[in-house]
Amino acid sequence: MSDKPKASTETLTPAETSAPHRQPSGKELDWERNILQPTLAKSPERTHHFTTTSGHPTRRLYTQADLPNWDPDRDLGMPGVPPYTRGIHPTMYRTRLWTMRQFAGFGTAEDTNARFRYLLSQGQTGLSTAFDLPTLMGYDSDHPLSEGEVGKCGVAISSLADMEVLFDKIPLASVTTSMTINSPAAVIWAMYLAVAEKQGADWRKISGTLQNDILKEYIAQKEYIYPPEPSMRLVIDTFEFGVKNTPKFNTISISGYHIREAGSTAIQELAFTLRDGLEYVEWGMRRGLEVDQFVPQLSFFFNAHNDFFEEIAKYRAARRIWHKAMVERFQSSNPRSWGLRFHTQTAGCSLTAQQPYNNVVRTAIQALAAVMGGTQSLHTNSLDEAWALPTEFAATIALRTQQIIAHETGVTNTVDPLGGSYFVETLTNEVERGAWDHIERIDAMGGMVAAIERGYPQREIAEASYRYQMAVEKKEKIIVGVNDFISEEKPLEILQIDETVARRQAERLRKLRAERSQAEVERRLGALRNAAKGNENLMPFIFDAVKAYATLGEICDAMRDVFGTYEEVAIT
């Protein structure tokens, strides 16, 4: 008779039984037989299927048997050196905490400038700008399609004049700023650089981050203007311009955040984001840029969802994949290209409209995962964001959450506090393997642009998002306050943006167009249009147009004339 426990297929989860290479120690087998089985016979577990938020199976117990070929020197290593599993800096938060960078923007440039200054006065260490939908789509505030949307989801920026107000009395020489802008990223960046120049800040010293990640727009966020080819050209133009003029500026933030918000799993988020990253590197090299010249200016941006360990594993796996790809695919020889630096935002899609104060707790746990995973900067969502942009009250609690993690919990005292945990190391391996599978599938399709054109990542995300919704509806996943533990409560006080913002913006644009030199604007827009037809780097032309106070809409239209616009085939 076999001495394996008889009841094993009844009581073990699929994850357990589907680990054929597992060779448990005698001690573990003894424990299973003598302790575990009698326990399970008396009190069965709550379910047979324990899974992460993403549906990844989770075993009851992880032991050495889960890491048969794991070599701590090779797979874990030391912090600050390859493969960077433990973090990209030798001392991590012992030397410098992450940047507390709260995403903010609403109404007019004046409104947002006041919020920026408030957040800095409360101990925030960097800025992050949310633009409204017309700005994200390259329309001026007075465009017919902007009706009803001005200043609602972010700040309305239509020209350099608005940008000057946005950063009034904020020293760009010392404050780093992140800007969540993609299709019109080159234009908004030119406006930012023009403000920095006016302030007398040295371009070679200023730092900040331009999101500029068009691939994830086609995949998930959907704020695209032009077709992929010219859009990628604009991205590589900013890389090239950045290498020459702003060596400390992150010219892109390759973003998984929105992919996850659209409903992907953690593994899909990781895989699609890193494959996007590889795509940008390939296009940069095709332009003739030296890999180790521009890659150090690429940064990443991930989501922090509810499943604590899955998220931590994702960040650790991300660093390992990036290092491997840099060295093996691109023969990078500069360690500055190897270390994956990333920003994290807690998961907006995990916030509930019901019992919104519970969101403070969710956000705190998500933020803790980001910190345990070694993030370089962090945004924590506010409790009211399932309803609206945050009030100052809610935004302050969100910032305080980070300060509590940084100064009260002790998790910052040691590097990679979970390193060596059987569970975390196994999950890191599994997430990494799952991500490589997707990456290789996309390679086989001919790269990310080709995969997007086929709808591959879009379809994968739509499937995962539907699966998750059904799991919630069947109560396989419990969301406190939504499908269980329901209670009535009073509506929250929320921030309302009224239509006076649109009127103020329209008035400002009317004045701007009356006061600037129209001939000069036309001349510079013409030059941009001509350059767009050829192969030149467009950044200098965009910068010239911005400085003559051509509006965002006019500049984007000049390129629309040449590049056309993109329509997706919707996948449902």
Partner 1 sequence: MPEKKIRVLIAKPGLDGHDRGAKVIARALRDAGMEVIYTGLRQTPEMIASAALQEDVDVIGLSILSGAHNTICPQLMNLLREKGMSDVTVLVGGIIPEADISGLKKSGIAEIFLPGTSTQEIVDFIHKRVPQG
Binding site for partner 1 (CB under 8 A): 133-134, 136-137, 139, 145-149, 152-153, 217, 221-223, 261-263, 349, 352-354, 386-388, 462, 465-466, 469, 472-473, 479, 481-483, 491, 494, 496-497, 567-568, 570-572
Nearer to partner 1, 65 or 462 (CB): 462
- The least CB distance from residue 137 to partner 1, in Å, is 5
Nearer to partner 1, 20 or 491 (CB): 491
Distance CA 102, CA 502 (A): 25
Nearer to partner 1, 89 or 258 (CB): 258
* Nearby residues of 49 by Cβ (< 8 Å), 6 or more positions away: 13, 14, 57, 476
* Nearby residues of 94 by Cβ (< 8 Å), 6 or more positions away: 412, 413, 414, 415
Distance CA 496, CA 331 (A): 52
Distance CA 175, CA 129 (A): 13
* Nearby residues of 446 by Cβ (< 8 Å), 6 or more positions away: none
Q: Which helix (H) or strand (E) holds 405?
A: helix 392-408
Nearer to partner 1, 50 or 387 (CB): 387
Nearer to partner 1, 111 or 430 (CB): 111
By the 8 A CB rule, do 254 and 298 touch?
Answer: yes
* CA atoms in the 13 A half-sphere facing the CB of 108: 18
* Nearby residues of 517 by Cβ (< 8 Å), 6 or more positions away: 548
By the 8 A CB rule, do 433 and 320 touch?
Answer: no
Cβ burial, residue 168 (10 Å; 0-12/13-18/19+):
middle
Nearer to partner 1, 349 or 411 (CB): 349
For the chain, count helices (H), then strands (E).
24, 8
Distance CA 497, CA 107 (A): 7
Nearer to partner 1, 245 or 483 (CB): 483
- The least CB distance from residue 545 to partner 1, in Å, is 23
Nearer to partner 1, 467 or 523 (CB): 467
DSSP annotation of 544 reads: H
Nearer to partner 1, 40 or 464 (CB): 464
- The least CB distance from residue 260 to partner 1, in Å, is 11
3-state secondary structure 481-512: CCCECCCCCCCCCCCCCCCHHHHHHHHHHHHH
Distance CA 201, CA 188 (A): 17
Distance CA 419, CA 3 (A): 34
Distance CA 54, CA 351 (A): 16
Q: How many CB atoms lie within 10 A of CB 489?
A: 10
- The least CB distance from residue 567 to partner 1, in Å, is 8
By the 8 A CB rule, do 398 and 102 touch?
Answer: yes
* CA atoms in the 13 A half-sphere facing the CB of 358: 16
Nearer to partner 1, 409 or 485 (CB): 485
Nearer to partner 1, 11 or 53 (CB): 53
- Two structure tokens written together for 90: 């030798």
By the 8 A CB rule, do 85 and 319 touch?
Answer: yes
Q: How many CB atoms lie within 10 A of CB 172?
A: 23
Nearer to partner 1, 152 or 438 (CB): 152
